[in-house]
Amino acid sequence: MSTATTHGARAHARAQAGTVVSTMATIPASAWPEPPDGVDAADLTWAEVVAPGGYATKVISAGTTLRLTDSEGEACAHLLLYNADQTWERLNVADSVKVPWQAYMTTGHPLLSDQGRALATLVADSTDSHHDALCGAAPEAVHAARYGAGGPWSETPAARELFKLAGAKHDLGVRDLAPSISFFKRVRVAADGGFAVSLAAQAGGSVALRAELPLLVLVVNAPHRLDERREYTCGPLELLAWRGEPTHPDDPLFSATPEAQRALWNSYDYATARGIRR
């Protein structure tokens, strides 16, 4: 097909429509072929497979459940959360481990903002806490030393470089990129303070979080900071989100711990005053 003329170039461009690749967004999300059990396809609001070395962002409403799936067992999902109303309120990793008295995130764990509110609650985890809240996102310099390059244009992009771009799409800068959490690579702390890392693959492993407030979500799929394999190793990451309600005071997760309960009441207090929850 000739692209020497505008008409030819337009026909060439339009002929590409309908191409399906393994890592792409499904739009509308309701067209996603496999809704989770009990979820009506019409309630799907986000369906996307993030490529290795890629990122995705979305603003989601309060009550949305976001499920992240390590489809082939080699994804590493780095996550940053912001209150969509006011992005200066964001995930505070220190508070998110200190307040629940727990460094290892799994079902029931609150993800807290710096304002004493639960931004999200982990509501499902098939991996037995195969995650990390401590080691953050690898900088470009670490990838340059490990793989030879770490820029977003390279074949081996670093998680922090991807967060910079993901944030910039929402007018956020490096001041807004505080430490992140990651799913699907397991980090444990020894008594002497050292780390034990498990990269063991769990194909199909998933974790789900429920938005307690309207959220801006930044997701990066790139190797873990402590993944020292010589080859850049990363697999596809499936994201699926559907409508729902924030954690209800009658839900056992609401009162799982006194700290999480107070965080959820603080979120409730914000949302009712803001007029987005009754």
Partner 1 sequence: MTVLATEIRLDEEVPARAPWSARLSAGEELTIVDLGGNQAVDFLLFGWPDTHERYCAAETIAAQGSIFLTTGSVLLSAEATPLMTVVADECGRHDTLGGACSKESNSLRYGQHTRHQHACVENFLTAAIPYGLGKRDLVSNVNWFMNVPVEADGTLGIVDGLSRPGLSLSLRAERDVLVLVSNCPQINNPCNGFDPTPVRMVVSAP
**Stretch in the footprint of partner 1 (CB under 8 A) among 27-35, 59-67, 100-108, 205-213:** 100-108
Return d(Cα 211, Cα 62) in angstroms, integer: 5
- For residue 177, state whether it binds partner 1 (rule: CB under 8 A): yes
Closest CB 141 distance from partner 1, rounded Å: 4
- For residue 38, state whether it binds partner 1 (rule: CB under 8 A): no
**Stretch in the footprint of partner 1 (CB under 8 A) among 26-34, 64-72, 128-136, 241-249:** 128-136
Dihedral (CA of 98, 101, 106, 111) sign: negative
- Whose CA is closest to 111, among 135, 130, 83? 83
Return d(Cα 122, Cα 112) in angstroms, integer: 11
- For residue 275, state whether it binds partner 1 (rule: CB under 8 A): no
Nearer to partner 1, 45 or 83 (CB): 83
Point out which residues pair with 210 in neighbouring strands.
65, 121
One residue of 26, 57, 102, 126 binding partner 1 per CB under 8 A = 102
Return d(Cα 167, Cα 56) in angstroms, integer: 10
Return d(Cα 206, Cα 223) in angstroms, integer: 17
One residue of 7, 12, 98, 248 binding partner 1 per CB under 8 A = 98
User: Are 257 and 274 a contacting pair, CB within 8 Å?
Assistant: no
- For residue 140, state whether it binds partner 1 (rule: CB under 8 A): yes
Alpha carbons within 13 angstroms on the beta-carbon side of residue 27 total 5
One residue of 36, 71, 85, 104 binding partner 1 per CB under 8 A = 104
Give the footprint of partner 1 on this chain (CB under 8 A).
88, 92-95, 97-99, 101-104, 112, 114-117, 129, 134-137, 139-142, 160, 173-180, 188-189, 191-195, 225-226, 259, 262-263, 266
